[in-house]
Structure 1
């Protein structure tokens, strides 16, 4: 087999590769609003619990996160982040930012926002819009089971924690308050994800309906099937977190 002509070989001088590596490193360090390196750590999603509790007038726990609680928050973030909320190029480097809990979000939830963004964004063809919708729904279906498996584990351990409070010797008021606050945090996180999933199903259905009337395509059937699967999962979660005592938790919008 003859050698590849030198004029079509991909060759990069070492200096070019070095400059590219430096540029990429700089991008991940916080330029242009991207994720700062000092924000990326094992507890980068810890804020979710504090946001959830403070949004309903409760204080966050000062206990360190357990491995299971950390995993719960890590798995929750992709489900509470609005779907299709950033351009694809940003997701390569990250565009991380804290989000408000649903109990104090303003303005009220707009089920049309996702669909309008999907339809208004430039696309090469209408089929790419269907493909984006299908990918977003499939991602949520894929994330559903891992999150709720984690929730089952965390809430189960919290029941044991709650039962043990009456038997811990010399339990200080601060320890008791932090234990209760952590259980409230975990419960609220599960409820937060549940509300977001319900809203996502509503948004996906609105978007599909508009795609069907604007650009009918056989891909609509696949999208509808996936949305139905996500809706069925959301309506029958494997674990339901009881409302936090002393506070009515309702969804606005």
Structure 2
């Protein structure tokens, strides 16, 4: 009986800790359903415009614009290479746009995180790299299909403003700002895809150097496929700003 009484506080502590973990994040680091909302990625457009000094549009997002932002987020967040248990508290983080002066792209960061992860075999590192590249390839077509639709609708919006009566300066400014915002989001994804290709190549080169394996051939094939698609996107957003990006590595 004494042992049971002594163990009770410990059991209670373990149970309470488990409940706290369950409340903090979803399964395997995914954002909990009750933490999501329709406009959870609206910040992407606001960050893009703010980083280049453009006033944000006050228009509400259309369904197509909301989908564009939802599909953009997995491609602009840094690719991860870490076990699921490290993300048990959830890892949703807004990202700074590439036009921020202080943003420095480090092409070695992904590879170093992948290779330096303790207790991971070289085979699992190759598998993780392959999975990450394949995930990007899977996301590529849906995002750009959405981008094509949004950019096309923006062209029609731009053309229609010439024929509108009593268009106020504020309405015109909001419409122009939204078109710029959508264009910047597409450019942001294009930049991030180029950076991902660079990061994946660096990681593969170091894996081959440290642990040569036949699995490298499949990873190289997928990276080359992603690079080819990135170099020839199905839609090119009209450049709004061109600023050289600082890279390291």
Instruction: Classify the TM-score, shorter chain.
Output: 0.7 to 0.9
Mapped to 2, the partners of 1:39 and 1:105 lie a distance apart of 31
CA change 1:136–1:123 in 2 (3 A) is farther
2:66 to 64, 70, 77: 70
Q: Deviations over 1:76-99 (max 9, x none)?
A: 000000001664235566311111
Does residue 1:143 correspond to 2:115, yes or no?
A: no
Report the TM-score when normalising by structure 2. Answer: 0.85
After TM superposition, list the pairs within 5 Å mapping 1:190-229 onto structure 2. 190-229=186-225
Where does residue 177 of structure 2 map in the other structure? 181
Mapped to 1, the partners of 2:22 and 2:206 lie a distance apart of 41
User: Aligned to 2:104, what secondary structure does the other structure show?
Assistant: coil
CA contact (8 A) 2:104 2:245 kept: no
Could you list the structure 1 runs, at least 4 aligned residues long, displaced by more than 6 angstroms after superposition: 18-21
CA contact (8 A) 1:123 1:129 kept: no
Mapped to 2, the partners of 1:54 and 1:143 lie a distance apart of 26
Where does residue 242 of structure 2 map in the other structure? 248
Count, aligned residues: 232
Unaligned runs of 5+ in 1: 1-17
Report the TM-score when normalising by structure 1. Answer: 0.84
Does residue 1:162 correspond to 2:158, yes or no?
A: yes
Where does residue 124 of structure 1 map in the other structure? 120
After TM superposition, list the pairs within 5 Å mapping 1:228-239 onto structure 2. 228-239=224-235
1:99 to 90, 95, 120: 95
Does residue 1:172 correspond to 2:168, yes or no?
A: yes
Does residue 1:113 correspond to 2:89, yes or no?
A: no
Shift in Å at residue 125 of structure 1? 1.2
